[in-house]
Each structure stands twice: as structure tokens, then as C-alpha cells.
Amino acid sequence: MPLRLFVDFDGTITRGDVGNIFYRTFGGAACDELVKRFRAGEINARECFRGEAKAMGRVSPGALGDLVDAQEIDPSFKGLVAFCRDRGVELLIVSDGLDYYIRRILARNDCGEVPFVSNSAALVRPGEDKCAEVSVAFPHSDAGCDRCACCKRNIMLTRSAEEDIIAYVGEGFSDRCPVRYADIVFAKDVLQTYCQDENISYYEYATFDDVVARLRTLLDRSRLRPRARAEAERRAAFRHES
């Protein structure tokens, strides 16, 4: 049974929420207000991110790059990448953040080969001072649900086969939906509370060393089995789509 591993980026691979830092450093309090309205259900994720990008105004590419380069990843992530390579586990990063910083952070940390799916950002309309606007796009949004801008559930379901076992590692808001569809869940921070409230069984982790140790045990010791409720949720999602 092939194992596929999906991992959140902001706050899971990186120490901080880079997306939030990215928008807020340049967009200021207007971004807090947008996030508040999004959490209250008044605007959707795309409206929130578009508004935040607009609030950033014209930014210097150098300043933006420096900000991104100051972000740290959990150093144990490299161990997970090596483990997946050695054991033939397909690893994919799924993020409601932006390709602009994900690509740069992965490359800077020698993980540039790890594939990811996310929203995208480009610097457009540069002026003579080289400052430019940040334009965001959402190529992976779901037609029927706008809680997230990048639909991790759809990515997981389209990237895995029926017989695959799906493992997911996350910590925050945008991980609440995908864990419902995953057979093996690794959760920390607020995602733990969500899993407890929703009766989703999960493994608590602090670093990727914990994830690797658990996956090694699962792969060595037992036949991987799907989680019955995740399997039912996946079937229901496919029925809904067709």
C-alpha cells in the first residue's frame, strides 16, 4: 500500500506564519482587519488575500526578499525529506500561502527539489524605483467552497489513488479540512484541539523527527490501513464531484 504524505508549509515547515508576516509587514493593520473579517465569515479566503496584497501597496523586491530570507524552517524537515526519498514515500507540500516565498525558502534551505502546490504571487507594474505591486492568483481554488483559497482536499484526492494511504502533517486553520480525508494525521497546536473536537485520531508531534519515527514504525511493523471515516469522507467527496 503506497503511502503519500502531504505537509502544510506555514507554521509546520517554517517556524512562523510566513504568509501573515509577508502581508502584515507591508500592509499593516488593514491586514489584521481583513483576517478578522475572514475568520468571521464576512469575506472569503480569496477576498482576504487579495485585500491583503492590495494593502501592501508598492513594495521593494529587495525588502520583500530580505523579509522572506529571514524566515527559518524547522531543521528537522530535511530529515523527513531524506526519509521519504529513502522509503519511496511521495511527499507534497500543500499550502494556502504563496509560491513566491515557499519556493525561495525551500531553495535557501537546500529543499528546492521538494514539490509544492499553493497560491501564487507575482510582482507586477514595477516603477522606476523598482517598487512593484503584489498580484495574487488562486489556481487551486474549489468551485463550491471558499473557506480556503487553495483547496488542499482536492489536491490530496486528485494526487492519490484509491489504494493509497494518505498521511497529513499540519498545525492550523487551513489544515482542518484536509485532516478529515487523511488516514494518518500528525497534529500540533490548534489543529490538535480541532482533531479532539471532531474525534479525528491523530499523532501529536513537536518536530519532524517525531513524524519520521512514527512513520518508520508504521511502515516497518504493520500493514498500513485506511482510517474508516477518512475513507468514507473521500468516497462522499467523489460522489459529490461526479
Q: Are 180 and 233 in contact (CB under 8 A)?
A: yes
Q: Which stretch binds Mg ion (CB under 5 A): 4-12, 28-36, 122-130, 142-150?
A: 4-12
Q: Which residues of 13-38 are buried (b: 16+ CB within 10 A; e: fewer)?
A: bbeebbbbbbbbebbeebbeebbeeb
**Chain centre distance of CA 190:** 15
The letter for the amino acid at 213 is: A
Q: Which is nearer to Mg ion, 150 or 215 (CB)?
A: 150
Q: Which stretch binds Mg ion (CB under 5 A): 1-9, 30-38, 63-71, 78-86?
A: 1-9
Q: What are the cell numbers at 190?
A: 490548534
Q: Which is nearer to Mg ion, 188 or 234 (CB)?
A: 188
Q: Which is nearer to Mg ion, 8 or 142 (CB)?
A: 8
Query: Looking at 10, 52, 99, 183, which residue binds Mg ion (CB under 5 A)?
Result: 10
Does 27 interact with Mg ion (rule: CB under 5 A)?
Answer: no
CA dist 203 and 159 (Å) reads 23
* Three-state secondary structure call for residue 75: coil
Of residues 135-194, those binding Mg ion (CB under 5 A):
172
Burial of 79 (0-12, 13-18, 19+ CB in 10 A): middle
> Which residues contact residue 118 at a Cβ distance below 8 angstroms, ignoring those fewer than 6 apart?
9, 93, 94, 95, 96, 97, 98, 99, 102, 140, 150
Query: Looking at 8, 74, 99, 183, which residue binds Mg ion (CB under 5 A)?
Result: 8
Does 96 interact with Mg ion (rule: CB under 5 A)?
Answer: no
Question: Cβ 118 to Mg ion, closest distance in Å?
Answer: 11
Query: Looking at 11, 51, 178, 226, which residue binds Mg ion (CB under 5 A)?
Result: 11
Question: Cβ 224 to Mg ion, closest distance in Å?
Answer: 25
Does 226 interact with Mg ion (rule: CB under 5 A)?
Answer: no
Question: Cβ 239 to Mg ion, closest distance in Å?
Answer: 29
Kindly list the residues in this chain that would bind Mg ion in the complex (CB under 5 A): 8, 10-11, 172
